[in-house]
A and B are shown apart, each in its own frame.
Chain A
Amino acid sequence: MNGESFLFTVFALATCLGAIAVVFSQTVVRMAFWLVISLGSTAALFFLANADFVGAAQLLIYVGGTLVLLVFGVMLTASGPYLKIATSPGEIVMGSCVGLLFLVVVYASLNGVNWRKSPAAATENSNPVVATGKTLRPIGLSFLGSRPDQDLTSDGDTLTPGYLLPFEIVSVHLLVVLIGAAYLARAKRRAGE
């Protein structure tokens, strides 16, 4: 077991256990805590998979942004931070059983597929850019519409192969969502006030 495998094992366990803890926690605050553990470990897994930028984004947006939003939500809605809305044990047991069954099915199917399409792609470091982990610049370039990691010019496609258009759409989407969320969550004035 090399270092990478060890780190992977640690963070993978943290991720899985965190997620399981979220399921079995009863209060919102604890759930949020375990969720932070799980998402953070996921970010670590991203780093391990040479996806530096994604991992950073995961930390910044999820752990830093989304969770803050969630905590705000908890505080704005719950009567208290330790409010319990109990789920009946039977439901939990049944949910667990169904979840386990589901996990078995998913695992069986992902294990049954041969993901490597050709012998040429059999090496783990088939993509040098991804393999080296230096992905910040290529991702930025792909958002600008060019793809340094893949030679796509040979097939003569004149359309831009990058992600410029989705990037712009997502930007506008975010703006719209933020405005919409603010509108939905605004404080309602009572009539006559």
Chain B
Amino acid sequence: MTGRRIGLIQNSKFLLVRSSMTADLNSYLFVGAVLFVCGVVCMATKRNGIGVLMGVELVLNGANVNFVAFSRYTDLGLDGQVFSLFVIVLAAAEAAVALAIALNFYNNHLTIDVDRANKLKG
């Protein structure tokens, strides 16, 4: 924690670094962050159930990018890659189950609009 620096204001090289994309750790992490945020926004805005699922995939991919980047640029070794493999496998499983849920949802509501699923409304 002691080494943490809030980069938004203090780091004057912010724009300079971003202007020339080099393949270093921060660039990978930035890509992962973009993927992650896009996935979250996707989940938050898509009314289509399949779209929500895609958002989840994006989030998982963002995490994967981070794992691989850490594996490559720190002394983490193979662990990062192995973890991203597990994530990929679990994502596949998750996709299968989520699709099954979506099918059932469709069978019950005759639509894939998640806004129709408001049984939990208080």
Contact = CB atoms under 8 A, between A and B. Distances in A.
* Touch A–B, Cβ below 8 Å: yes
A70 to B, nearest CB: 6
B41 A96 contact: yes
Summarize A's interface: helix, strand, loop or mixed. helix
Interface of B is mostly: helix
Interface in B1-56: 3-8, 11, 14, 20-31, 33-42, 44-51, 53-55
A102 B77 contact: no
Contact of A108 (B8, B82, B90, B92): B8
B26 to A, nearest CB: 6
Contacts of B95: 66, 69-70
Q: Chain A contact residues (Cβ within 8 angstroms of B): what range? A: 35 or more
Interface string A50-78: 11011001100110011001101110111
Contacts of B61: 38-39, 42, 62
Contacts, number: 270
A75 B35 CA distance: 26
Nearest to B99: A73
A49 B74 CA distance: 12
Contacts of B31: 12, 15-16, 45
Contacts of B88: 54, 57-58, 61-62
Interface string B87-122: 011111111110111111011000011000000000
Interface residues of B, number: 82
B58 A139 contact: no
Contacts of B37: 99-100, 102-103, 106
Interface string B50-78: 11011101100100110011111111111
A92 interface: yes
B100 A95 contact: no
A22 B78 contact: no
B101 A184 contact: yes
Given A12-B31, A51-B68, A99-B40, A65 B78 contact: no
A170 B87 CA distance: 10
Given A22-B54, A54-B64, A150-B77, 8 more contacts: A22-B58, A95-B41, A103-B33, A107-B30, A110-B30, A112-B6, A115-B70, A180-B100
A106 B51 CA distance: 23
Interface in A108-136: 108, 110-117, 121, 124, 126-127, 129-131, 135
Given A22-B42, A62-B91, A112-B4, A69 B103 contact: no
Nearest to B96: A181
